[in-house]
Amino acid sequence: MTDSYKYFTTPIYYANGTPHAGHVYATIMASTLKAHYEQRGAKVKFLTGLDEHGEAVQDKAKELGKTPQEQVDEMAVLWKKEFERFEINNDIFMRTTDKAHIKNVQDILNYCHKKGDIYFGEHEGYYCVKCEGFITSSERDENNNCLIHKRPAELRKEKNYFFRTSKYRDQLKELIAKGHITQQERYINELIGMLENLDSDLSISRPKSRLAWGVELPFDTDHVAYVWFDALPNYVTGIGGIEEARTSYYWKNVQHIIGKDILKFHGIFWPAMCLSLDIPLPKLLVTGWILQDSHKMSKSLGNGINVEQILHYGRDTFVNYFFRATNPGEDIEFSWKSYFERYNSDLANGIGNLLARTLTMVEKYFANKIPNFSHNLLIEEQNEIINACNNASKNVAKAFDEFRIADALNEIWNLIALTDKHIAQQKPWELAKNNDPENMLRLGNVIATSVAVLRVTGYLSYSFFPNKMNDLLKSIGEDISNISNSFSKSQEFFAIKSGFNLVEIPKLYARIEIAAELVKVNLGLEQNKEKSESKKVTKVENKKEILQENSNIISIQDFMKVQMHVGTVLSAENVEGSDKLLRLVVSLGTLGERQIFSGIREWVKPEEIANRKVIIVSNLAPRKMKFGMSEGMMLATDTADGKVSPIYLPENLKEGALLT
């Protein structure tokens, strides 16, 4: 019974700043976990919120000429609005200034104090204001700068109350080693190392003479609780307090999602507090840092992705990139180029393109009605897809249970790739040319298989991309009015809505023009600068055209400048507003993807060229056209019957290979 309950928490974020990419990553992860387990019928709670007490908040409020309460009230409104923009589905938004939380903290302080785990003493050490804590010699450099925040730590000597962390040191070592706090091996080793270097108990109070902004100790009104001893109990406040935690099924299945920079507080001090409180130990899911050029992203360095940029390019772009990069725990290296390439590959040219081409074929060949399966005509390739879908459903569930989030996404996108390959091999446009009854049944199987994969994928990836998967599922006739308990539908491969009349073909994800977007984000150009850059490119093109007109003879040195590569056409579509152009998205292997406009629409249908190998001139200067940036040229030639055809290459040629 307990397994049907889940409780996910993010850190409660510090209320002296605005959200950044790291906050977004952790919070969307919790949001995704909640949605996934609700799809599997579990009862789920999800807590996030703000840590509102402490020295940094007090200092920030003073700097702004406000009271601390005014400052945190404003920040709470801001953070809630930001989470709404990211469609976060939390049940609880915890604020440490809430009366219920203050009471819970004081109950915890009283309980630990009466147990003898809190005592009064004196401590001297190096204190980092950003960490809101004393840091050890291994956490600062030779100049006593905090290794995380790159700023000087202050030498402080104070009389405070202390929590007897040392009392639980040996017990914690054993629990950590057995994986009872985290099952991530690298963090098990880190925690054991931290315990071995722990040279003092945890200071848990600050004198009011220095810091008035905090929860007053119930047994000494001249002191307030140290911010971490105030913040960590928020997870228990969220389910009703310490008495509730002792019996709650939610607490027995709690998972704290935290960044590795707060591992010591959550992996040592908080479990020690829980042992003192006689409540079950929480589990940790530790995430790495987001890096750019091997440096942790930071607002001060200006080296990364901010909230407005995330929202500009879409929540799904962020989710797909960061969740697929690696399973939680490892650092994630970010670059704008790979960010856009992953979006185009997985979303625009992947699931988005598969939906568009599938429903277009339904529209074209079956008068807008989803065809039936003809089970007696299913071929081996289609049976392999059926098995892959059934296995994917089990593997995605298992991956979530083991917090291998990237593995779950890989399972899903493999289905899309498998289906694209199936369409390329079966050539439905060829089947449609010979429209005898059996061929039409075989064509129906190709399209029905694709619809079934889209349906399975829609349910499997709903927790990652709820809005777009809602559009996808609706477009193929699925009832998504209640998504709870819907995960099992991903195991019903043949349950497509045959005969459903298509209403519209949604364009899930518009392709990003990478070259143009890189100009914006990397160079920070405004619109007028972008136009200036485009004019420069056009001038270069014009000069090349003039030179070509003046001479048809070129030297071998000139010819060697032309780079021709083997490309795979990932997608092709007619360009609206032009009766000549096809928009092609071509993969050149390690060289990435290119958007190319080709004037072959009169002779070549989009479905005929999709997934074919062609020759691409890859080092042609990008050309700004009315419909977008063209990033190369596809070679074509005249046919014997007076038409024009791309020069198709054998399928066994390596994608991206240089023609010499």
3-state secondary structure of 153: coil
Which DSSP string do the residues of 634-656 spell out, in sequence order? E-EEE-TTS-EEE--B-TTSPTT
Reduce the secondary structure of 448-503 to three states and give it as a string.
HHHHHHHHHHHHHCCCCCHHHHHHHHHHCCCCCCCCCCCHHHHHCCCCCCCCCECC
**Structure token digits, residue 459:** 């349910």
Is 23 catalytic? The answer is: yes
Question: Which listed residue (112, 131, 274, 389) is catalytic?
Answer: 131
Question: Which listed residue (123, 130, 252, 296) is catalytic?
Answer: 296
Question: Which listed residue (20, 101, 422, 613) is catalytic?
Answer: 20
Is 20 catalytic? The answer is: yes
Please state, in angstroms and as integers, the Cα–Cα distance from residue 198 to each residue in 118, 155, 168, 188, 554, following that order: 17, 18, 12, 15, 73
Neighbours of 44 (CB within 10 A): 22
Question: Which listed residue (6, 34, 36, 128) is catalytic?
Answer: 128
Question: Which listed residue (112, 146, 274, 389) is catalytic?
Answer: 146
Question: Which listed residue (123, 149, 252, 427) is catalytic?
Answer: 149
525: Cβ contacts below 8 Å, ≥ 6 apart: 519, 533
Neighbours of 535 (CB within 10 A): 11
Rounded to 5 degrees, φ, ψ at 136 are -80, 170
Is 149 catalytic? The answer is: yes
18: Cβ contacts below 8 Å, ≥ 6 apart: 78, 79, 82, 307
Please state, in angstroms and as integers, the Cα–Cα distance from residue 58 to each residue in 18, 174, 444, following that order: 16, 39, 67
Is 296 catalytic? The answer is: yes
Which residues on neighbouring strands pair with residue 134, listed in sequence order?
Answer: 127
How would you class 528 by CB atoms within 10 Å of its CB: exposed for 0-12, middle for 13-18, buried for 19 or more? exposed
Give the amino acid at 590. T
Rounded to 5 degrees, φ, ψ at 469 are -70, -30
Neighbours of 464 (CB within 10 A): 23
How would you class 427 by CB atoms within 10 Å of its CB: exposed for 0-12, middle for 13-18, buried for 19 or more? middle
Strand locations in 472-607 (E): 564-574, 582-587, 593-598
Which residues on neighbouring strands pair with residue 636, listed in sequence order?
Answer: 646
Locate all alpha helices (DSSP H) within 307-404, ordered by sequence.
307-313, 315-325, 336-342, 353-365, 380-401
Question: Which listed residue (23, 34, 101, 422) is catalytic?
Answer: 23
Residues 203-213: b if buried by 16+ CB within 10 A, e if exposed: bbbbebeebeb
Q: Tell me the helices (H) and strands (E) count for the chain, helix number first.
A: 25, 25
Give the amino acid at 5. Y
Q: What residues are annotated to the active site? A: 20, 23, 128, 131, 146, 149, 296, 299
